[in-house]
Amino acid sequence: MSDTLQTKAQVINQFLPEKLTTKHSAEAFAPSNIALCKYWGKRATELNLPTNSSLSISLGHLGSHTRISHSENGADVVKLNNRTQDEQSSFCRKVIAFINLFRRDQSIPLVIDTRNNIPTAAGLASSASGFAALVLAINDFFELRLTKVQLSAFARMGSGSASRAIYTGFVRWDMGKQEDGMDSVASQLDFQWDDFCIGLIKVSSAKKPVDSRSGMDRTTATSSLYQNWPAQAAADLITLQKAIENRDFSAMGACAEQNAMSMHATMISAWPPLVYWLPESLAVMQRVWQLRESGIAVYFTMDAGPNLKLLFEESSRKLLETEFPQMDIIQPFKSH
Ligand code: PMV
């Protein structure tokens, strides 16, 4: 790596006033999202700059609420779902390290209170919505008046997929080319798809043995299949965007499923192999393929874990609810 690469602190610092002002408190919400074209692999690790652009659908009202206020006792307090977190916990350390990028050496003790309303039964990661809600709350609390482009770039530094969680609906994250990453940001696609349904199927709640960050690094370093990935992702992004524009559900679903399977192929061919699937994951995939054979337009996508996200339209909802009674259904474009 060249020594001209900038750190997160250096990039963010350019957009901050010398002395911060603060509000009494600030609160923000960001939705969780599921990638239809996955972000998989980094061209620069410090800033989470990706090797490919990606596209996601946000999960409506499911996500993270974060509130920032002044701490009365002179020390930072980090809460998650109403519970104060141990200061040595990885959650607490990540949140404080992120806040410190903005607070720098100014002594402003804070209470950072995060609540996730993603059903624990859904088996979804909350780092994307968590970092996006945190950066939105920071922007408001310190009265920074950052633009959405800047907020997306800063959320990305917490977790890549958080860059997309600044927006709702269909969101594209462009990989960008600048070294400081300020062009590696998300934007919202101007499309509504009222009938669009996402079914969350949790097959395991066990903590995954390898998180997505390490899985990504291992895959890019050791999988010979990975070299094909950036070109495939670029092609998939175009196909998906066209399918969304044309409301072609089958084209969209087929592309999203193949994109997820291709990402998993790169994981499986990493060394040591990364197989996130469980026998139950494969059983759901096989049932989805059978249903498709019988004429039901249902597809799936999967991330770095064993749980599945089914993609279907409202017309198939009743039937799929009977097939998968354990499924949580989200309609991203319908208000709840
Ligand atoms: O944002 P991260 O570092 O948790 O990585 C997310 C990676 C995937 O979920 C597998 C794909 C994606 O685009 O969300």
- Residue 2 scores a pLDDT above 60: no
Q: Is the CB of 39 under 6 A from ligand 1?
A: yes
Ligand 1 binding pocket mutation candidate from 64, 303, 307 (most atoms within 8 A of CB): 303
**Structure token digits, residue 272:** 């040591």
Tokens of 303: 């991330």
Q: Where are the beta strands (DSSP E) in the chain?
A: 25-37, 42-44, 49-50, 54-70, 77-80, 83-84, 110-116, 170-173, 186-188, 196-201, 299-302, 308-313, 328-330
- Amino acid symbol at 75: A
Q: What is the pLDDT of residues 42-72, one digit of tens each?
A: 999 999 999 999 999 999 999 999 999 999 9
State the distance from the centre of ligand 1 to the C-alpha of 295, rounded, in angstroms: 31
Q: Ligand 1, closest atom to CA 39?
A: 13
**Ligand 1 proximity of 303 Cβ (cutoff 6 Å):** yes
- Whether this prediction's pTM lies above 0.75 is answered by yes
CA–CA gap between residue 8 and residue 260 (Å, rounded): 30
pLDDT digits (tens, 9 = 90+) for 88-141: 999 999 999 999 999 998 999 999 999 999 866 566 778 899 999 999 999 999
pLDDT of residue 55: 98
Centre of ligand 1 from the C-alpha of residue 303, in Å:
7
Task: Give the nearest ligand 1 atom to 161 CA.
Answer: 1
Which residues make beta-bridge pairs with 56? Answer: 35, 171
Distance CA 22, CA 110 (A): 11
Spatial distance between the Cα atoms of 45 and 126, rounded to a whole number of angstroms? 20
Q: Is 159 in the pocket of ligand 1 (CB under 6 A)?
A: yes
> What residue type is assigned to position 12 of the chain?
I
The predicted model gives 64-88 an average pLDDT of: 95
| 116 in contact with ligand 1, CB cutoff 6 A | no
Which sign, positive or negative, has the C-alpha torsion 146, 188, 193, 52? negative
Of residues 268 and 125, the one with the higher pLDDT is 268
Q: Would you give the DSSP letter of residue 280?
A: H
Task: Tell me what pLDDT residue 94 has.
Answer: 95
Q: Which atom of ligand 1 is nearest to the CA of 173?
A: 13
Q: Predicted confidence band at 204 (pLDDT cuts at 50, 70, 90)?
A: confident
**Residue 2: both structure tokens together:** 């060249």
Q: Is the pLDDT of residue 293 over 60?
A: yes
**Which candidate, 125, 113, 112, 111, places its Cα nearest to that of 62?**
125
pLDDT above 90 (res 3): no
Give the per-residue pLDDT at 1. 44
pLDDT digits (tens, 9 = 90+) for 151-194: 999 999 999 999 999 999 999 999 999 999 999 999 999 999 99
Mean pLDDT of 70-97: 95
Report the distance separating Cα 186 and Cα 174, nearest Å.
Answer: 6
